[in-house]
Amino acid sequence: MSRSLIAALIVGVTGLLSTKVYAAVETADVTGGQVQGVVMEGIASFKGVPFAAPPTGENRWRSPQAVVPWSGVRQANAFAPACMQDTGMAASFGAPTAVSEDCLYLNVWTGAKTAQDRLPVMVWIYGGAFLGGATNWPLYDGAHFARKGVVLVSVAYRVGPFGFLAHRELSRESGTGSGDYGLEDQIAGLKWVRDNIARFGGDPQRVTVFGESAGGISVSMLAASPQAKGLYQRAICESGGSLKPPDGGPGQGVPTLGRAEKTGVAFLASLGAKDIKQARELPADKILDAARQGRLTFWPALDGHVIVGDEYSLYEAGRFNDSPVLIGTNSDEGAAFTAAKVTALDYVKQIRATYGDKADVILAANPHATDAEARAASKNDFRDSAFAWSTWRWASLQSRHPGKGKAYLYYFDHRTAASPEGASHAAEIAFVFGNIGSPGMPPSDADRALSDLMVSYWVNFAAQGDPNGPGLPAWQPFSDASPKVMHFDESSSARDGVPNLKQLKALDDYFAWRRAQAAKASPQ
């Protein structure tokens, strides 16, 4: 046999082996039609796949409607624009700034070789205070998860007044309340995953819903929503939770439907619209501009359909979607939301104005004699009231009910030269997605090790409902009797005791008082 023939055979065999190694699901028949993705180094990505009809015209402020079918093969090779929002947040993260009211699309990353692989699935819900956020941020690229054997899906949802406007007309129109269209978008995305993800090599019976900030709060809301029952099998919440009493208190809480509807009436008045029909005819830009100029808050409402009650009370009664949960907060996330300078006098005034009759309880738990202490107390109060209290209480309540859903609690405390006092809000996301470093600033070996550790835990949890695995520090489930918390820092390990417990117990006292006050005020 000639050398040239041998060489040709070697090249041919190598090519076949390469094709086998890098083969991936490239096309899929999904609800609405066929989509074709893009394959790079064995990972297929499908971007801009519609999971609902455009929420425009008569569909504005309606539950997501069925996908509009298409003919031929749809090229799923580019992200869709973000849902209508101010673009400042996206620009600050180096993300695309295109927005559109036609925005209900999702993205899939998969390393499956065939549709029969049945890999665990993770569904990402972005944060952004329910006012912003999108699936197209580089931070959320799902290729790293796909290389670890997960099918990663990111789902868009309406935000601001487009996603969370409540109004009496809308409540009458639907018959099931109003104000939770963004959450309904998330639920529609989960239904699409249930119905279609097997065609991408995913297992529809091993779906983990996970999110951060407003995305994590959304996960908490879904965990207690009958509308999400059976659509996922595990839940991860990063810096979220929604266990505060409805209608107020520090850290945004769920408004009652009546209160949210009043906000909607005021918003329509600011638009100059006499009714919902007129408001639906307005350009999306005008609605966005009015939201920018106004001081009204748009947040998921207690509509009685998606959000059916005070989540704390629902958990006490065992009325939640029982699944394993992995939840936690960051050590210094209040820094992003509070003033850089706070005097001791300012802090006392702030606490008294916020906590009323329980102000002394909060003040006693937070040292504030000096301006430096007051600054720390101010940002830590935000961290605890907005994120940490709900997370701690969620883990505690979940662990009290017998069932399949264990709770795993973490505390992200990775410190850098830029954040020497602790980990800021959203700092964990890059480590979770494995997208650490930036152009000109490669990650350190320690950063890579921490990211590998967190990715391993998240992937294990998605695969088996338990983050533990060979070679990893043991992470025990949380309970009140054994409050184990995984600390992610320079020597990551599970440790006894909940961080900042004194401050969390003070908030516990306050929120219990708020619930008691609300019970007295409600008609019998």
Is residue 317 included in any domain, yes or no?
yes
Report if residue 351 sits inside a domain: no
Distant-in-sequence, close-in-space partners of 378: CB < 8 Å, separation ≥ 6: 334, 338, 339, 342, 347, 350
CA distance 352 to 362: 9
213 with 128: CB under 8 angstroms?
Answer: yes
Nearest-Å Rg of the Cα atoms of the chain is 24
pLDDT of residue 36: 97
Asked whether 399 and 483 are in contact (CB, 8 A), the reply is: no
Residue 118 lies in a domain: yes
Q: Are strands 73-75 and 33-36 parallel, antiparallel or unpaired?
A: parallel
> Has residue 2 got a pLDDT over 70?
no
Nearest 5 degrees, angle CA 177-CA 180-CA 225?
90
Count of residues making up the chain: 524
**Which of 393, 390, 423 minimizes the C-alpha distance to 490?**
423
pLDDT digits (tens, 9 = 90+) for 172-206: 999 999 999 999 999 999 999 999 999 999 999 99
Could you tell me the pTM of the whole model? Answer: 0.94
Distance CA 518, CA 248 (A): 11
Measured between its terminal Cα atoms, the distance across the chain in Å is: 95
Most confident of 108-117, 292-301, 433-442: 108-117
SS3 123: strand
Give mean pLDDT, residues 364-373: 96
pLDDT exceeds cutoff 80 at 8: no
pLDDT of residue 14: 37
- Residues tagged active-site: 213, 333, 425
The reported pLDDT for the residue numbered 252 is: 67
Average pLDDT over residues 137-150: 96
Residue with token string 């043991």: 474
Q: What are phi and psi of 14, to 5 degrees?
A: -60, -40
Q: Is the pLDDT of residue 21 over 60?
A: no
Residue 90: predicted pLDDT: 84
Rounded to whole angstroms, the Cα distance separating 480 from 452 reads 29
For residue 438, what pLDDT is reported? Answer: 75
Q: Does 81 have pLDDT greater than 70?
A: yes
On whether residue 519 sits in a domain, the answer given is no
In a domain? residue 359: no
Owner of token pair 């239904």 = 191
pLDDT digits (tens, 9 = 90+) for 219-241: 999 999 999 999 999 999 999 99
- Asked if the structure places residue 465 within a domain, the reply is yes
| Sign (positive or negative) of CA dihedral 169, 173, 178, 184 | negative
Instruction: Tell me the per-residue pLDDT of 58-68, one tens digit each, with 9 for 90 and over.
Output: 999 999 999 99
Give 481's DSSP letter.
S
DSSP code of residue 77: B
Question: Structure tokens of 509?
Answer: 């006292």
Q: How remote is the C-alpha of 459 from its chain's centroid?
A: 17
Does 386 map to a domain? no
Residue 157, in any domain of the structure: yes
User: What number of other Cβ atoms are within 10 A of residue 241's Cβ?
Assistant: 27
- Which whole number is the average pLDDT over 332-357? 94
Task: Average the pLDDT over each of 4-8, 76-80, 250-254, 411-415 and give the range with the smallest value.
Answer: 4-8
Residue 524 pLDDT > 60:
no
Which tokens sit at 66? 């069925």
**Can you give the pLDDT at residue 521?**
66
At residue 75, φ and ψ (nearest 5 deg) are -80, 115
SS3 175: coil
353-to-259, 357, 438, 509, 520 alpha-carbon distances in Å = 21, 10, 42, 17, 22
In the numeric block, which tokens belong to residue 138? 């580089």
Residues 420-438 have pLDDT tens digits of 999 999 999 999 999 998 7
What pLDDT is stored for residue 369 in this prediction? 96
CB atoms near residue 78 (< 10 Å): 12
Q: Which comes out higher in pLDDT, residue 302 or 16?
A: 302
Quick one: which H or E segment has residue 445?
helix 445-464
Helix (H, G, I), strand (E, B) or coil at 190: helix
Q: Per residue in 435-483, pLDDT tens?
A: 998 767 789 999 999 999 999 999 999 999 999 999 999 999 999 999 9
Q: What CATH number should be reported for the domain holding residue 433?
A: 3.40.50.1820
The rounded distance, in Å, linking the Cα atoms of 456 and 494 is 15
Percent of the chain with pLDDT over 70: 94
- How many angstroms separate the CA atoms of 35 and 51, rounded? 12
List the domain range (segments joined by +) for residue 263.
23-330+395-439+449-479
DSSP 109: E
Average pLDDT over residues 349-375: 96
Rounded average pLDDT over 311-334:
96
Give the H or E element holding residue 258: helix 257-271
Residue 74 has pLDDT above 90, yes or no: yes
Task: Please count the structural domains in the chain.
Answer: 1
Residue 92 has pLDDT above 90, yes or no: no
Cα–Cα separations (whole angstroms), residue 401 to 270, 314, 322? 47, 12, 9
244: nearest Cα among 147, 130, 388, 112: 388
Average pLDDT in the chain: 92
23 confidence band (pLDDT: 50, 70, 90): low
Cβ-contact 380, 503 below 8 angstroms: yes
